Amino acid sequence: MANTADPALNPVSSPPAAPEPASKQSNTKMDQPQSQSQPQPQGQKAPKPAKPAKQQQPPKDKNASAAPADAAGSDKLSPAELKKKAKAEKAARRARERAEREQPGGGAGGAAGGQGTGTPAGKKGSDAGAAAAASAKGQKGIPRRGSAQNVPQSAAAELKKKQEDKNVAVFGHLYGQQRRTTVAGAGKEVHPAVLALGLQMRDYVVCGSSARCVATLLAFKRVIEAYTTPMGTSLSRHLTTHLSHQITYLSTCRPLSISQGNAIRALKLAISSIDPSVPESEAKTTLCEFIDTFISEKITVADQVIAGSAAQKIKDGDVVVTFAGSSIVKQTLLTAFKQGKKFRVSIIDSRPLFEGKNLARTLANAGLEVQYSLMNGVSHAIKDATKVFLGAHAMTSNGRLYSRVGTALVAMSAKERGGVEIPVIVCCETVKFTDRVALDSIVVNEIADADELVVTQPPHQLTDLPDPVAAAQPEPKKGGKAAASNPSPTESNTASNKDGSPLTDWRDTPNLQLLNIMYDVTPAEYVDMVVTEMGSLPPSAVPIVHRMSTNL
């Protein structure tokens, strides 16, 4: 956020600032910005524009008096002063370079902007002594440039420092690169369908293990359809590498799910088993057919089979508890409802995705009796439950259930009630089985953006009319040109600080970390039954089934 926004300030301020001695600026300011930017942890952007406005006033005056002297002749400067100037300049340059280097991939565009404007500004600064015929009007721009130049540096440096300790130490191995934020920088080999899918997955538009698997396969089908074998190579050899570009791109958007991995593996196997002598069009048709069969066999039909057999487990009068929004559980419940069974569903949901809301809506629209509570209500929801149905992200080879974070708590609560244990039934396609094993939720997991935990929209904005306008105003400006929007984001920022979450500035708050993990591992003893398209199994049967299904 701050990354992309900060360099964006540069274009704003550098043009008017052009003529003024940046050297002097840095001379007077060099130690100032450091100390200044340190105590301005909140909002980053918030205090900045305000500061140049008033805080810079004194330096401006100094500049005004100093500028003529400067203009009169830089030889008038004492050697010590010159030295200081040079030193400051060097420091500024170095800091700038560092800042540029530190811009992570996400802010690539921003970094480029910073570079582009930053360097010329610096150059101008060096010969600024001559150009110091600064009019009174020009003075206005001066401080801004100084600050705009300096703040990104120090802010970026600071940000870097922060970024390091914002990673929760225990999960350090899981913080890979940031999720991709734009399609910029994606390889030219990446098919548009895949580009779009990547962003959809990142934004949880396509969410859920099966959905991601199907969407990936469909996108790959289009890739294959659009594919032509280059000269001098065969389809079975080259298509795999072509696909792996797509796969790499997808995995930078969001780490691949187990089901995606399994599907991709199967697809690659199918590609490599194509005889090189087969003509390209025929091979492509075969592959597309393979994908279609894979989807229907492993997911669409499998889901129907699972829903059918899991629905049989639901009896009249049951109270079914489920966690978050699993598509297969939804299908199961709807199937059971269509069979005329009378039961109640209790959905437990969690922050920050609230996947259960959609499930609740679908079920309620279908006419089921739905009760909805959040994680804090687990003990209450489970009290009168008779069955727990859970979806899965994956089943590990040691029989553990790897699913949306919180699942383990629900399964545990079901096993808590002394004596009468509530059966916990997992619905899972075999395509989600993996030969990986997991003991805890820390070694294998996925870290989502911690900013998702910050409550973003203050609810009063719904009713308060002027506020959305104010909030909406900076948006387009930011999108178009971050230029003049300097003050307005400030306002909206402070406004959101006031009534928004106190966490808005968590990245600037030392020692505060937010952790947003996606999955947890439910011990095998909490799972009574795994319903798959191959039948209902105990969790210990997972490795066997996995072997069978991969050997087929």
Partner 1 sequence: MPPPSAPLTPGLASFLKSLKTNPIDTSIDNLISLLKRRQIRHSRSCATATAYLLRSVISACRTSDASKLIERVQSVGRRLIAAQPREMVVGNIVRRVLGLIRDEAEDDRDGDFSLSEAGSESQPQTPRAGDDPSEALYGRHDGSASKPLSSLAAHPISMFSLLSQPESENSLPGSPVSASPSGRLPGHPQNKDIRAEVLDGINEIIDELGQVDDQIAAYALDHIHSNEIILTHTSSTTVQKFLLKAAAKRKFTVIHAESYPNNHEATHATVSGTAPNNDELLSTESFQKPLIAHGITVILIPDSAVFALMSRVNKVILGTHSVLANGGLVASAGTRVIARAAKVHQTPVVVVSGVYKLSPVYPFDFESLIEYGDSSKVIGYEDGDLVEQIDVQNPLYDYVPAELVDLYITNLGGHAPSYLYRIVSDHYRKEDISF
Q: Give the nearer residue to partner 1 in terms of CB position, either 135 or 511.
A: 511
HSE-up of residue 535 (Cα within 13 Å, Cβ side): 8
CA distances from 282 to 80, 232, 264, 285, 492 (A): 79, 18, 20, 5, 58
Q: Give the nearer residue to partner 1 in terms of CB position, either 312 or 513.
A: 513
Rounded to the nearest whole angstrom, what is the least distance from the CB of residue 378 to partner 1 in the complex?
5
Q: Give the nearer residue to partner 1 in terms of CB position, either 71 or 514.
A: 514
Q: Give the nearer residue to partner 1 in terms of CB position, either 213 or 405.
A: 405
Q: Give the nearer residue to partner 1 in terms of CB position, either 3 or 441.
A: 441
Range list of β-strands (E), 175-309: none
How many whole angstroms from its chain centre is CA 20?
41
Q: Give the nearer residue to partner 1 in terms of CB position, either 303 or 520.
A: 520
- By DSSP bridging, strand 394-395 and strand 401-404 are antiparallel
Q: Is 274 helix (H, G, I), strand (E, B) or coil?
A: coil
Q: Give the nearer residue to partner 1 in terms of CB position, either 47 or 143.
A: 47
Q: Give the nearer residue to partner 1 in terms of CB position, either 73 or 367.
A: 367
Q: Give the nearer residue to partner 1 in terms of CB position, either 137 or 498.
A: 498
Q: 428: which 2 tokens?
A: 């899972």
Q: Is 20 exposed, middle or buried (0-12, 13-18, 19+ CB in 10 A)?
A: buried
- Whether the CB-CB separation of 64 and 139 falls below 8 Å is answered with yes
Instruction: Confirm or reject binding of residue 337 to partner 1 (CB under 8 A).
Output: no
How many whole angstroms from its chain centre is CA 351?
15
**Phi and psi torsions of 271, nearest 5°:** -65, -45
- Using CB under 8 A as the binding rule, the residues of this chain from 409 to 428 that contact partner 1 are 409, 412-413, 416
Structure-token match 């930011």, residue found? 478
Range list of β-strands (E), 326-366: 343-349
Q: In the stretch 448-467, what mask flags binding to partner 1 with x, by CB under 8 A?
A: -----x-x---xx-x-----
Q: Give the nearer residue to partner 1 in terms of CB position, either 412 or 483.
A: 412
How many whole angstroms from its chain centre is CA 461?
25
Q: 188: which 2 tokens?
A: 């030219």
Paired with 387 in beta bridges are 320
DSSP result, 24-52: HHHHHHSHHHHHHHTT--SSSTTHHHHHH
Q: Find the binder of partner 1 among 369, 421, 435, 475 (CB under 8 A).
A: 369
Instruction: Confirm or reject binding of residue 376 to partner 1 (CB under 8 A).
Output: yes
Closest CA to 346 of 328, 365, 359, 337: 359
Rounded to the nearest whole angstrom, what is the least distance from the CB of residue 507 to partner 1 in the complex?
11
Instruction: Confirm or reject binding of residue 374 to partner 1 (CB under 8 A).
Output: yes
Q: Give the nearer residue to partner 1 in terms of CB position, either 294 or 519.
A: 519
Q: What's the rounded Cα separation, in Å, for the pair 270 and 235? A: 12
Q: Is 532 helix (H, G, I), strand (E, B) or coil?
A: strand
Q: What's the rounded Cα separation, in Å, for the pair 533 and 208? A: 18
Could you check whether the bond before residue 352 is cis, i.e. omega within 30 degrees of 0?
A: yes
Residues contacting 380, CB < 8 A, separation 6+: 373
Rounded to the nearest whole angstrom, what is the least distance from the CB of residue 258 to partner 1 in the complex?
17
Rounded to the nearest whole angstrom, what is the least distance from the CB of residue 77 to partner 1 in the complex?
44
Q: Find the binder of partner 1 among 378, 401, 414, 424 (CB under 8 A).
A: 378
Q: What's the chain's length in residues?
A: 552
- Using CB under 8 A as the binding rule, the residues of this chain from 212 to 241 that contact partner 1 are none
HSE-up of residue 295 (Cα within 13 Å, Cβ side): 16
Q: Find the binder of partner 1 among 74, 371, 386, 473 (CB under 8 A).
A: 371
Q: Quick one: which segment of 25-33, 129-137, 242-250, 345-353 binds partner 1 (CB under 8 A)?
A: 345-353
- Using CB under 8 A as the binding rule, the residues of this chain from 489 to 518 that contact partner 1 are 499, 501-503, 505-506, 509-517
- Using CB under 8 A as the binding rule, the residues of this chain from 379 to 398 that contact partner 1 are 379-381
Q: Give the nearer residue to partner 1 in terms of CB position, either 134 or 447.
A: 447
- Using CB under 8 A as the binding rule, the residues of this chain from 106 to 125 that contact partner 1 are none
Q: What's the rounded Cα separation, in Å, for the pair 192 and 250? A: 12
Q: Find the binder of partner 1 among 157, 270, 442, 470 (CB under 8 A).
A: 442
- Whether the CB-CB separation of 519 and 446 falls below 8 Å is answered with yes
Rounded to the nearest whole angstrom, what is the least distance from the CB of residue 398 to partner 1 in the complex?
15
Q: Give the nearer residue to partner 1 in terms of CB position, either 140 or 436.
A: 436
Q: Quick one: which segment of 48-56, 151-159, 365-373, 531-539 binds partner 1 (CB under 8 A)?
A: 365-373
Q: Give the type of residue at 25.
A: Q
- Using CB under 8 A as the binding rule, the residues of this chain from 301 to 320 that contact partner 1 are none
Q: What's the rounded Cα separation, in Å, for the pair 357 and 349? A: 7
Rounded to the nearest whole angstrom, what is the least distance from the CB of residue 404 to partner 1 in the complex?
8
By rule CB under 8 A, what count of residues binds partner 1? 60
> Please, what is the Cα angle at 430 between 425 and 436, to 5 degrees?
95
Q: 131: which 2 tokens?
A: 């150009």
Q: Find the binder of partner 1 among 116, 138, 352, 423 (CB under 8 A).
A: 352
Q: In the stretch 129-168, what mask flags binding to partner 1 with x, by CB under 8 A?
A: ------------------------------------x--x
Binding residues for partner 1, per CB under 8 A? Answer: 165, 168-170, 350-352, 357, 360-361, 364-365, 369-381, 404-406, 408-409, 412-413, 416, 440-442, 445, 453, 455, 459-460, 462, 499, 501-503, 505-506, 509-517, 519-521
